[in-house]
Amino acid sequence: MLILAAVLCFGIGLVHSLLGERFILMRLFRGSRIPPLFGSEFFTKRTLRFAWHLTTVAWWGFGNLLLEVSGNPIDLAQVVLRTVAGVFFVSSVATMVASKGKHLSWVVFGAIAILCMLSL
């Protein structure tokens, strides 16, 4: 049952990103004036886009947790910490790249990832 739940997490993440990009973000960016942040609409659009897709990363992290606990007995704390570190590492890198370092959440995401890894 947990493997099926994990597959659904990965699937819903993929569908969320693909359909959201096509039917929501593209139309939103095409049809209305987006308020400029840090001097440009481009930054606002990038921020909305990466925030949308970070939801997928989080759901994939949950899917990984479900896969990990569906198998043999494990050290649950280590699985959770590794998964949380991975999700926040990916979030940090994606945010840093997408915003070219301007959106400072990448620093906080990175700190969370490092603190989780140091806790192992």
Query: Could you give the CA distance from residue 35 to residue 66 in angstroms, rounded to a whole number?
Result: 39
pLDDT at 1 over 90: no
Q: Check: CB of residue 63 under 8 Å from CB of residue 101.
A: no
pLDDT single digits (tens) 10-32: 999 999 999 999 999 999 888 77
Q: pLDDT tens for residues 30-72?
A: 877 888 888 888 888 888 998 999 999 999 999 999 888 887 7
pLDDT of residue 25: 93
Q: Name the pTM for this structure.
A: 0.78
Predicted pLDDT of residue 50 = 87
Instruction: Look at residue 37 in the predicted model and tell me its pLDDT.
Output: 84
Chain segment 61-104, per-residue pLDDT in tens: 999 998 888 877 778 889 899 999 999 999 999 989 988 898 89
Beta bridge partners of 37: 40
Handedness of CA 87, 89, 92, 95 (dihedral sign): negative
Q: What are phi and psi of 40, to 5 degrees?
A: -155, 150
CB atoms within 10 A of CB 100: 10
